[in-house]
Amino acid sequence: MVNKEGANGVDNGTRPSDDVLRSVLHDFARRRLSVDKRLAELASKHGYSIKKSKLAELNKEFQVPSPRKPVADGVATALIAEHLEQDIGRRHGPARVQQKVLLKHGVALSRYQCRKIQHKLDPDGAEARFPHKGRREKKRGQLTAVGIMQEVHCDGHEKLGGIALRLGDVGFGIYGFRCHTGKVLHVDVVPNDRNPLTVAHCYLDFVRETGEISLQLTFDGGTETGYMAAIQTELRCNELSELDRPATRSLKSTDNIPAESMWSYWLEDEGANLKTVLLQGHDNGLFAPGNPLHVHLFQWLWSRIIRNHLLQFKDYFNSTRRRSQKNKLLPTDAPNEVFAAPEEYGLEKLGIGIPREVVEQFRARLPLSREHVMRWVPDEFDEIAQYYYEEIGSPQLEHTFGWEIYRQMLPLILEAYM
């Protein structure tokens, strides 16, 4: 008989293949899971039950990054300097830099190492990031929830819109959805976040991506939410008609806390940097707001760059543990971990599953198609721009490269239309 408690004859289950094990262990590091959670997930999801010592051996074997074994200061300095060069607004502190470097390069830096090197490279950065100095904050209560997808908050963001940029007839709206328990569920850049049909298609994109709706959808009061509210109400009524709780709720903007705070995190992450770079269009002499081809290229290129950064923000935010707060009632672990096992945090799974074909049925009922309301440029220009983007090597869609990509593509576009 197998002695499962003793040192010999333990049934550890079946060890996954080296490729699978390497991928799983590196994913654990990327998610910054505790040792206990790594062991538990190996056992529950992969049928491999081991102890801490064996996990340490495997981490060494597969060269899993760990902040306890930081890389040399020279390598760390190069990685941090690269990140700080992109953080034009100087908004990122050591914890954010640490996580960003891990997500992008797979290199685990220690918090101490990040702080030391960042202070050396940017000694005034901490003072520049000091939030709300001298400002009186609105008194907040405590957020509570019974489970995940109990309530989803949504909102538009216009800090990159036409009024904010003042670069002529160009601008970018953003619309996002965040669970009451913390996870950013869907966020995208859109031509007009004040258009009811655009917002409705964004909502259906969110339902398609997550595969479910929440018991309640909460938003700011505004005419742009009409179609979305109607769809949410009908979907929930079809699936859960006996629930007394309203399917939607409208709040003042300042009371829609999870959505508003999402934009605060976005601005600290890359939003402020993107605005700074976009405004360089005034100074670099490349962008002529009165030329339709310049406008088309600007909208075509920068909408893709912003979408790329929004996806990076979502990945970063959902994989990062929140700062512990004395009176906070909701979990502070990374939102991805909370959603993966809500029962471990005393939460239920409350989402209502919606098949994709139902999503597309509701989409077909809207007066205008998704392609129409999400169109940034004419179809002919879209094809030409995509062709020349690939011709120049499909460079990375990062804000630090944006104007250089624009500079390379502009003469090709102009020549194509001559």
* Dist. CA 67–CA 98, nearest whole Å: 9
Apex CA 183: angle with CA 243 and CA 147, to 5°?
Answer: 35
* 263 vs 252 pLDDT, higher one: 263
Which residues does 351 contact at the CB level (< 8 Å), separation at least 6? 148, 149, 210, 212, 213, 214
DSSP string, 49-114: ---HHHHHHHHHHTT---TTSPPPHHHHHHHHHHHHHH-TT----HHHHHHHHHHHH-----HHHH
* Dist. CA 418–CA 415, nearest whole Å: 5
Tell me whether residue 137 is exposed, middle or buried, using C-beta atoms within 10 angstroms of its C-beta: 0 to 12, 13 to 18, 19 or more.
exposed
Mean pLDDT (the chain) is 88
The pLDDT of residue 134 is: 46
Q: How confident is the model at residue 144 (pLDDT cuts 50, 70, 90)?
A: low
Strands (E), 324-415: 348-349, 352-353
The pLDDT of residue 69 is: 76
* Dist. CA 21–CA 316, nearest whole Å: 23
Q: Are 150 and 180 in contact, with CB atoms under 8 Å apart?
A: yes
**Two structure tokens written together for 370:** 């998704």
Which residues does 51 contact at the CB level (< 8 Å), separation at least 6? 39
Give 378's DSSP letter.
Answer: -
Q: How confident is the model at residue 31 (pLDDT cuts 50, 70, 90)?
A: confident
Q: Could you tell me whether strands 151-157 and 216-220 are parallel, antiparallel, or unpaired per DSSP bridges?
A: parallel
The pLDDT of residue 3 is: 45
Number of Cβ atoms within 10 Å of the Cβ of 87? 20
Give 343's DSSP letter.
Answer: G
**Two structure tokens written together for 109:** 């830096």
Q: How confident is the model at residue 367 (pLDDT cuts 50, 70, 90)?
A: very high
Residues for the chain: how many in total?
A: 418
Distances (CA, A) of 192 to 44, 173, 200, 297, 334: 45, 5, 12, 18, 31
Tell whether the model's pLDDT for residue 297 goes beyond 80: yes
Give 129's DSSP letter.
Answer: T
pTM of the model: 0.76
* 281 vs 338 pLDDT, higher one: 338
From the list 392, 9, 349, the residue with the least C-alpha distance to 183 is 349
Q: How confident is the model at residue 225 (pLDDT cuts 50, 70, 90)?
A: very high
Q: Are 106 and 292 in contact, with CB atoms under 8 Å apart?
A: no
The pLDDT of residue 32 is: 82
Q: How confident is the model at residue 328 (pLDDT cuts 50, 70, 90)?
A: low
* Dist. CA 53–CA 48, nearest whole Å: 14
